Structure 1
Amino acid sequence: MAPSGAIKPRAISWLLSRPADGPVITTMRALAEEYAASHPGFKLNLISTPDRPSYIQKYETLAAAGKLPELFDTDATPFAQKLAHHGRMMDVAKLLRNLGLYDHYRPAALDYQRFDDGSLYMVPLQYEAEFFWYNKALLRRAGVSVPTSLDDFPAMCRALRSAGITPIALDGQDLWPLERYAAYQPFPGHRPVLCASAQER
């Protein structure tokens, strides 16, 4: 149901773990400014943290103190499910249906946000493609072909390792890029795209 009574624009806050100059924050800031232009009194305060581990710590601390902002990033974790079951999160499935937007989302995108019991308390924020960059010269040295599916990766990695080549390299202090490899198989929406290295060393 639509809210009743007068709507009074006000400032709301969003706790997130994303680069301050990244595309998500840049886009949301622009949308908030556009909305504020026609709704005097509205403002979106972005509370960002430098990395995911710091974010999780801040998010859980604020939740424990009952001080979570109106918006926050989370995954479908047991901790988030406890928040939802204690009335600390909005029923997103009901909200999207009330707004007539539920059927505008890809089913896989909504399913990724669901808790184990099928309930939906999170809305997908973005859609992206995953890319692997590979070096053709190193693959040739190891005597392997370019993989055409995820099923080819284990054999390719073993061959590269046997040739003294590090099969996969990740950078950064966050652990989520490594977890992506485990997510590729169960979530078709996260299938990667292979890209050849322009420089052959």
Structure 2
Amino acid sequence: MAKMSKWFSLVMAGTLALSLTACGGSKSSDGSASSNAGSGGEKTETVKEKNVTITFQNIYPDPTDPKNKLMNKLVKQYETEHPNIKIELDSLNTDQQKLKLKTQAASKEVPDITVVNPAAQMQPFVEAKLLAPLDDMLDQNGLRGTFQDGLLDWYSFDGHTYAVPDGNNIGVVYYNKELFEKGGVNVPTTFEDMLDVVKTLKQKGIQPMAIGEKDTWTGSFLFMNMLLRTNNGPGFLKDVLDKKKTFEDPAFKEAVDAFQNLIQAGAFQEGVTSFDYNAGENLFKTGKAAMYFMGTWATGGIETSSVNGKVGVFKFPTINGKGNPDEFMLAPGSAFAISADSKHLDETKAFLNWFMVNFPKEAFEAKGAVGIGQKVDGDFKAAGYSDMAMEVLNLFKGVKGGDLAFDNTMNPGTAQAHLTSIQNLFVQKKDSAEVAKEHQAAFEANNK
């Protein structure tokens, strides 16, 4: 629980903090950022002389995403300043990347830079000694101090940090004000109101919600917010792990029923399991859906889409009078890790250090700084951030607690069973007691 308490303070810091004084990095004699971060004293000129290709696996495949643009900008800048270095991008959506990394890890061929998720999701890679400790890299050019207080704890094991996160977010409902007005509906304050909004929009030919359930984490992320409500607060999965509850608890079955009620009301688009994350989000970003539940990392992409200026946000409401809307799904973000077996470990650490030191400033200028995991120094409103972005920042200020995603809490076997079970609900309605038994059986099988 110490980590969770730290999250509450750091999520507050993430809305206002900031010091980008470190963002220029330490300077070498030619004016570029030092190239020997984490090199253990290797001379900069030695690094410069070697022709090196660094494989940079990432989850920024969408060219309309501000993070994709700033990644490419920073990569090109680094290659210009370091002509001996070639950064080879491997851009994948989230589920593709997870699957690819699993395959690469099995053959011990993890790319120079890869993407991991916090806590339980990355722990197997750490235990298999596939990831390099990044403590030395974090101590170069003030990088450690750019992160929100406590955030790096989610990526640390046995006193060492193994990844650096790009985000720190909460789950919210984005809504298209124009479509709400067209449908004659208001922002719902209860789940029962939300079902009525869905039905009314559907009757008027407006797609109520969008989701990309081909990437199974998206449905789970929404479901877990509903469980956060029916459980009347956070900690359900922790109670299961501590054997204080089972998945057959009434709160879990109530969440399954509520989730299925939303699906059966026609909330989501046809063929939902064939839409990946980007395709689902693009339905909302192109004005083809009225609501979209997602982490606040989506803010930047929405701001640069055709619906910019038409979007607001609201907290997921209570369910059957249960839950606190100021408790959110908490999402310490995906993070960059370095292969312990990288053939270019020093050069890779030098690049990632430079990339992350410069990331906050570039994200702010690209209007992609809402929800990043580092401190940002700047006036968001004066910089042209939208009213929606300011709404999101205000929601951060009111966070009273919450839960992490299922697969950041449970082991991989239990998590995979859960993701499959929830995805199946989009295809066929099931008795909630049966869904609960599926989960409990998977938990027991994977926790012997």
Partner of 1:169: 209
CA–CA separation in structure 1 for the residues paired with 2:78 and 2:129: 28
CA shift at 1:168, angstroms?
5.5
> Residue 14 of structure 1 contacts residue 45 of structure 1 at CA under 8 Å; is this kept in 2?
yes
Partner of 1:124: 165
Other structure's SS at 1:66 match: coil
If the length of structure 2 is used for normalisation, what is the TM-score?
A: 0.34
Instruction: Give the AA of the match of 1:122.
Output: A
**After alignment, is 63-72 or 34-43 more displaced?**
34-43
Shift in alpha-carbon separation, 1:168–1:121, aligned structure 2, 3 A: farther
Partner of 1:3: 40
Partner of 1:46: 89
Partner of 1:199: none
Is residue 2:219 matched to residue 1:178? yes
Is residue 2:116 matched to residue 1:74? yes
CA shift at 1:110, angstroms?
3.4
Other structure's SS at 2:101 match: helix
Q: What value does the CA root-mean-square deviation take over the aligned residues?
A: 3.7
Is residue 2:250 matched to residue 1:107? no
Shift in alpha-carbon separation, 1:32–1:188, aligned structure 2, 3 A: closer
Is residue 2:100 matched to residue 1:61? no
CA–CA separation in structure 2 for the residues paired with 1:18 and 1:126: 13
Is residue 2:137 matched to residue 1:95? yes
Partner of 1:187: 330
Structure showing the higher helix proportion among its residues: 2
CA–CA separation in structure 1 for the residues paired with 2:61 and 2:331: 26
**After alignment, is 174-183 or 56-65 more displaced?**
174-183
Partner of 1:36: 79
If the length of structure 1 is used for normalisation, what is the TM-score?
A: 0.68
CA–CA separation in structure 2 for the residues paired with 1:46 and 1:61: 18
CA shift at 1:65, angstroms?
0.5
CA–CA separation in structure 2 for the residues paired with 1:93 and 1:123: 10
CA–CA separation in structure 1 for the residues paired with 2:208 and 2:159: 35
Query: Which segments of 5 or more consecutive residues in structure 1 lack a partner in the other structure?
Result: 194-201
Shift in alpha-carbon separation, 1:117–1:153, aligned structure 2, 3 A: farther
Instruction: Give the AA of the match of 2:108.
Output: G
Instruction: Give the AA of the match of 2:87.
Output: L
Instruction: Give the AA of the match of 2:73.
Output: A
Query: Which segments of 5 or more consecutive residues in structure 2 lack a partner in the other structure?
Result: 1-37, 226-294, 296-327, 333-370, 372-388, 393-448
Count matched residues: 183
CA–CA separation in structure 2 for the residues paired with 1:26 and 1:36: 15
